């Protein structure tokens, strides 16, 4: 790890200005992703811009029919907050399954959403495509944990469980940059890496995620987050699902199904959502929606199991939602 300058800032505008001035600078808050990257030599910034000294960016509140969560809110505080548990329980469930208590006590929500790939090729001594190489080694290498949906030219999977839940909750992201603040859907915030933008988010070098806004739920809305891992606790998802469903007069009025651990971004399942709308949440409907959840999947040589695993998780999640809806 090479020497670097550590700078405290007291407004997001000040941080944006520094980012624009120094393209090699990086933001730091909890540091649970950036510091390991620096130790591995993936990142070597000459300046770290400390956001923890910016007041108010960890606030959690309800305003204008939205639950607003500052990007600097620590994961453990988000999961435990009564406003989150009562209005976005799927997010709390995802956070509680996302990392160890030690990590959750330091990591921030913004850091979780903006973290880099956990692919072993990206983190290892390989010139993978996401790091500027010419191809993704997972195409012909060990690809047990890689993408079955939306893959190519990068086949890594998005590492954030909170991200999966926020897409299912139809959240919005507020972004601060040199031209002020803009708000976009969280679906637009996450991007499949392409030539010219080899990144998992839409953020430019001089932009900062400032907060997340979640629409307040209706009385009929129910949600579930489920995750499969290769060990009992605190591992990245082999596959996961966040379901947010509303049932009115015995029929599904709205459906949001998002898969995690299977694509470079949190992967919305539109075919599964269509199978649910207007129908009773019964065994036949759940079976059709579960099968449709992986429409378009193209497994690699070693990860075909993720198709069946994802379908099973969706089935179990919908069954739980059905029991909650009564």
User: Residue 139 phi/psi, 5° resolution?
Assistant: -60, -40
Q: In this predicted model, what pLDDT tens digit does every residue of 33-57 receive, in sequence order?
A: 999 999 988 888 999 999 999 999 9
- Please calculate the CA angle 116-119-120 and round it to the nearest 5 degrees: 125
Q: What is the pLDDT averaged over residues 188-209?
A: 96
| pLDDT the model gives residue 98 | 92
Q: Where are the beta strands (DSSP E) in 229-272?
A: 239-248, 251-260, 267-268
Flag whether pLDDT at 1 surpasses 90: no
**Number of residues written out for the chain:** 326
Flag whether pLDDT at 312 surpasses 80: yes
Which H or E run contains 70? strand 66-70
Sign of CA dihedral 275, 276, 277, 280: positive
Residue 324 neighbours by CB distance under 10 Å: 13
Q: Is the pTM of this model over 0.75?
A: yes
In 3D space, the residue among 282, 243, 242, 237 whose CA is nearest the CA of residue 262 turns out to be 237
d(CA 318, CA 287): 9
| pLDDT the model gives residue 234 | 73
Mean pLDDT of the chain: 96
d(CA 152, CA 154): 4
Flag whether pLDDT at 233 surpasses 80: no
User: Residue 249 phi/psi, 5° resolution?
Assistant: 55, 40
Flag whether pLDDT at 210 surpasses 90: yes
Q: In this predicted model, what pLDDT tens digit does every residue of 127-168 receive, in sequence order?
A: 999 999 999 999 999 999 999 999 999 999 999 999 999 999
User: Residue 97 phi/psi, 5° resolution?
Assistant: -100, 5
Q: In this predicted model, what pLDDT tens digit does every residue of 73-126 receive, in sequence order?
A: 999 999 999 999 999 999 999 999 998 899 999 999 999 999 999 999 999 999
Within its chain, how far is the Cα of 71 from the centroid?
Answer: 13
Residue 199 neighbours by CB distance under 10 Å: 18
Whether residue 294 contacts residue 149, with contact meaning beta carbons closer than 8 Å, is answered with: yes
Within its chain, how far is the Cα of 230 from the centroid?
Answer: 19
| pLDDT the model gives residue 2 | 77
Q: In this predicted model, what pLDDT tens digit does every residue of 275-291 receive, in sequence order?
A: 999 999 999 999 999 99
In order of start, what are the domains of the chain with their CATH numbers? Answer: 1-51 (3.30.43.10), 60-115+156-215 (3.30.465.10), 221-325 (3.30.390.50)
| pLDDT the model gives residue 200 | 97
Q: In this predicted model, what pLDDT tens digit does every residue of 246-276 receive, in sequence order?
A: 999 999 999 999 999 999 999 999 999 999 9
């Amino acid at each position: 790890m090479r020497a670097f300058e550590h700078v405290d800032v007291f407004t997001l505008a000040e941080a944006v200005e520094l980012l624009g001035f120094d393209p090699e600078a990086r933001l730091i808050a909890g540091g649970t992703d950036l510091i390991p990257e620096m130790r591995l030599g993936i990142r070597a910034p000459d300046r770290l811009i400390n956001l923890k000294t910016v007041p108010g960016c960890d606030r959690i509140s309800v305003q204008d029919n939205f639950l607003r969560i500052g990007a600097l809110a620590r994961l453990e505080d988000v999961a435990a907050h009564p406003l989150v548990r009562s209005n976005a329980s799927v997010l709390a469930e995802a956070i509680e399954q996302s990392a160890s208590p030690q990590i959750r006590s330091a990591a921030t929500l913004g850091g979780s959403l903006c973290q880099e790939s956990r692919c072993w090729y990206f983190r290892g001594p390989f010139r993978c495509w996401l790091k500027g190489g010419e191809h993704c080694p997972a195409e012909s290498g060990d690809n047990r944990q890689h993408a079955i949906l939306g893959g190519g030219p990068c086949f890594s999977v998005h590492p954030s469980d909170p991200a999966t839940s926020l897409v299912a909750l139809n959240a919005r992201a507020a972004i601060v940059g040199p031209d002020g603040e803009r708000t976009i859907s969280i679906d637009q915030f996450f991007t499949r890496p392409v030539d010219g933008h080899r990144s998992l988010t839409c953020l430019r070098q001089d932009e900062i995620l400032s907060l997340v806004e979640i629409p307040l739920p209706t009385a009929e809305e129910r949600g579930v987050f489920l995750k499969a891992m290769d060990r009992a606790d605190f591992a990245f998802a082999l596959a996961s699902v966040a379901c947010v469903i509303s049932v009115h007069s015995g029929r599904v009025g709205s459906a949001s199904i998002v898969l995690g651990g299977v694509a470079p971004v949190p992967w919305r399942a539109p075919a599964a959502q269509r199978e649910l709308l207007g129908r009773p949440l019964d065994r036949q409907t759940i079976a059709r929606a579960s099968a449709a959840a992986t429409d378009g999947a193209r497994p690699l040589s070693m990860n075909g199991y993720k198709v069946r695993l994802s379908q099973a998780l969706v089935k179990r999640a919908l069954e739980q939602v059905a029991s909650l809806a009564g």
